[in-house]
Amino acid sequence: MSLRSTDRQWGSVAKFFHWIMALAVLVNGVWGLLMTDMTPSMSKISVYAWHKSIGLTVLALFALRLVWRAFDRRPKDEPGPRWQQVAAHAVHGVLYLMIVALPLTGWWFNSLRGFPLQYFKLFNLPAIAGKNEELAHLAHEAHELLFWALLLVLVAHVGAALKHHVFDNDNVLRRMLPFGRPRN
């Protein structure tokens, strides 16, 4: 398996970005939904700090992924109905937007609340908005709703991948699996 993608399958760099970001977004999302119920404590502060750091990592990975995508080639669409190919690309586009919007709304919310933003206790990032408690409420709603919306879109994304793998028995999922090889 090469670093770069080929006509038939994704390269290891594209696979790395795909799976590490999938894991980070899901874990951080569930983590985020649970952490708001914690009673104020040092543990809560630490859990929030991790959530923010993981979110910022997702944002950084996304930027690197875009750069890589610009240089990498892309496997050709697997044979199938045109509408499915269009739908698949549309879903990918929406997922990309959500992956950026999730950390950015988090950052926005954090700024509106006037909280510090520290990356794994290494360095601090600036606020991207002035303190505003009313708007913070809205930003929090947006941040949380985005994750629920992402889960909905994921149903389509994962559902389609599994449908291709299980029922169509084609290479759509296989070419993105960590150790998968496309069949001829």
Partner 1 sequence: MTRLALLLCALALPGLASAADYTVQSAGSTLAFHGNFQGSGFDGHFEKFDAAIAYDAAHLEASKFDVTVDLASARTGDNDRDTALPGSDFFDVAQFPKAHFVTTAFHRNGNTVTADGNLTLHGVTKPVSLTVDFKPTTAGATLDVKGALKRLEFGVGGGDYADTSVIADEVIVTAHLNLIAK
Question: Would you tell me which residues interact with partner 1 (CB under 8 A)?
Answer: 40-43, 45-46, 49, 114-118, 121, 123-124
Nearer to partner 1, 3 or 38 (CB): 38
Give the tokens for residue 83. 């509408």
Number of neighbouring beta carbons within 10 Å of residue 169: 10
Q: Shortest gap between Cβ of 117 and partner 1 (angstroms)?
A: 8
Angle of helix 82-112 relative to helix 133-162, nearest 10 degrees, comes to 150
Nearer to partner 1, 114 or 159 (CB): 114
Nearer to partner 1, 117 or 139 (CB): 117
Rounded-to-10 torsion of CA 29, 50, 101, 21: -70
Nearer to partner 1, 49 or 100 (CB): 49
Q: Shortest gap between Cβ of 107 and partner 1 (angstroms)?
A: 14
Q: Shortest gap between Cβ of 55 and partner 1 (angstroms)?
A: 15
Spell out the residues 6+ positions from residue 141 whose beta carbon is closer than 8 angstroms to its own. Answer: none
Q: Coil, strand or helix: which one is 45?
A: helix
CA distances from 13 to 40, 78, 134 (A): 40, 20, 42
Q: Shortest gap between Cβ of 38 and partner 1 (angstroms)?
A: 12
Q: Shortest gap between Cβ of 103 and partner 1 (angstroms)?
A: 17
Nearer to partner 1, 73 or 137 (CB): 137
Q: Shortest gap between Cβ of 157 and partner 1 (angstroms)?
A: 35
Radius of gyration for the chain, computed over Cα atoms and rounded to the nearest angstrom: 19
Nearer to partner 1, 76 or 121 (CB): 121
Number of neighbouring beta carbons within 10 Å of residue 94: 16
Alpha-carbon gap, residue 47 to 24, rounded angstroms: 15
